[in-house]
Amino acid sequence: MKRRTLLSWLLPLSLAGTTLLRRPSQALALGGVLPELEQLAPDFQLDGVAPALGQQQVHGLEQASSEPVPTSLGLSDFRGRWLVLYFYPKDFTSGCTLEARGFQQTLPAFHAATAEVVGVSADDPDQHASFCGSEGLAYPLLSDPGGLVSRRYGSWIAPFSQRHTFLIDPQGELRARWTAVRPAGHSAEVLAKLRDLQAGI
């Protein structure tokens, strides 16, 4: 009798959970509800830092030639180019440093494919400037201290952005996304997907 009662409780809960998981308009991930693929990416406008004009080649890799400069960038600034928008928890931590270095190493290949790379975290612009300078990053880092933009991308658990990446096409549509990213090799994974999309695969 008790077993039947327990099953009568569990069955509706199980069915309700299955129904929620199957809702096509709500892709859930640690960090919130993710924006839908093949739809316009959520808009943003954030302050941060960007490499100063002019970059240099160091051991065959692009590298910022001087201290990064303050900037304010939004989605519309990348119209006409592909955009890799990656969210990460914190500057100078081991995983975030590994991920940043990966994107820096593959940056020439992204640029050759008419794509830009932009990182977003809750760190303030001064912290980003230090991080860019120490790692020689030649791409922008934007500051989202309250998580407003991170929430739009389902990538916020206060007080940090979660390690999620989004690939946005030149028309501003979201074409691919990665959640709970493992930093090692991630930039190569994104680059491969970009090339597949550009080739129509």
Q: Are 143 and 123 in contact (CB under 8 A)?
A: yes
Are the CB atoms for 161 and 122 separated by under 8 Å? Answer: yes
Euclidean distance between the first and the last CA atom of the chain, given in angstroms as a whole number: 56
Active-site option among 46, 50, 83, 96: 96
What is the spatial distance between Cα 162 and Cα 178, in angstroms, rounded to a whole number? 11
Which element (helix H / strand E) includes 19? Answer: helix 2-21
- Number of other residues whose CB lies within 10 A of the CB of residue 46: 19
Amino acid letter, 59? H
d(CA 20, CA 9): 17
**173 phi/psi in degrees, rounded to 5:** -90, 145
Q: Is 96 a catalytic residue?
A: yes
Give catalytic residues, as residue numbers. Answer: 96
